[in-house]
């Protein structure tokens, strides 16, 4: 994590996502701009975040580290969105891991300093409620997609969501569980993507060779998110 001391860039991000309108006070002026590199953690498992984050650029994934040593993929974050709002609202909420897929920029408010003020701000609380309701609706759509679209369509959308610099590198076990399919079925479809030339397997992972066919496959899945 790196703090970015660039007021112009911070103001640009704030303007693009209407950050100041999330609050009923001048809270936005206290936000810091933080940068996270690929594979860094915005939030670590079971470690309470020191900031209320607002993702303004990049992609990250949310997962739970289980007692048996496995990681269960839960959700993804794309801008603009809150990260750490559950821990702010509920002191008993157990934080899950949030790991960067694509370099992330976040506007961040120190929780220790501003928690009381945030929890007393009706405008902020209303916006958090709206965000949580939309996230819940999206999760319901994700569950319904597992029944309504083919694995080829869903995997294409998943690859486009999680790719970094033209490469797909997610763990097969996590992906098969997230998509609700068997490990074997997932590998079969990945092999088909390689066979048709959409992907090429090399030492770095799966290199995306033909982007347009993947986008066409994923179109109905991604449009159902809107």
Q: For the full predicted model, state whether its pTM sits above 0.95.
A: no
The total number of structural domains in the chain stands at 2
Average pLDDT, the chain: 94
The pLDDT tens digits for 111-121 are 999 999 999 99
Q: Which stretches of 111-174 are assigned E, i.e. beta strand?
A: 167-168
- Give the domain-ending residue among 143, 174, 192: 143
Which among 94, 112, 143 is the end of a domain? Answer: 143
- Residue 191's domain spans which residues? 149-223
Which of 196, 195, 192, 204 lies closest to 163 in space, CA to CA? Answer: 204
Q: What is the pLDDT of residues 198-219, one digit of tens each?
A: 999 999 999 999 999 999 999 9
Rounded to 10 deg, the angle between the 151-162 and 183-195 helix axes is 80
- The predicted structure's pLDDT at residue 88: 96
């Amino acid at each position: 994590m790196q703090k970015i001391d660039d007021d112009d860039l911070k103001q640009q991000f704030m303007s693009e996502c209407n950050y100041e309108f999330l609050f009923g006070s001048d809270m936005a002026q206290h936000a810091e701009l933080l940068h996270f590199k690929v594979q860094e953690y915005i939030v670590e498992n079971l470690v309470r975040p020191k900031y209320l984050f607002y993702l303004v650029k990049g992609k990250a994934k949310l997962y739970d580290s289980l007692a048996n040593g496995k990681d269960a993929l839960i959700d993804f974050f794309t801008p603009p969105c809150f990260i750490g709002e559950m821990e702010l609202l509920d002191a008993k909420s157990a934080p899950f891991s949030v790991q960067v897929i694509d370099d992330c920029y976040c506007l961040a408010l120190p929780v220790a300093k501003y928690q009381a003020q945030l929890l007393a701000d009706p405008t902020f609380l209303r916006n958090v409620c709206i965000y949580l309701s939309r996230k819940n609706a999206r999760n319901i759509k994700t569950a319904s997609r597992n029944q309504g679209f083919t694995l080829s369509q869903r995997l294409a959308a998943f690859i486009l969501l999680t790719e970094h610099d033209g490469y797909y590198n997610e763990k097969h076990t996590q992906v098969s569980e997230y998509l609700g399919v068997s490990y074997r079925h997932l590998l079969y479809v990945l092999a088909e993507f390689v066979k048709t030339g959409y992907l090429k397997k090399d030492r770095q992972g799966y290199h995306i060779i033909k982007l347009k066919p993947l986008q066409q496959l994923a179109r109905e899945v991604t449009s159902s998110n809107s």
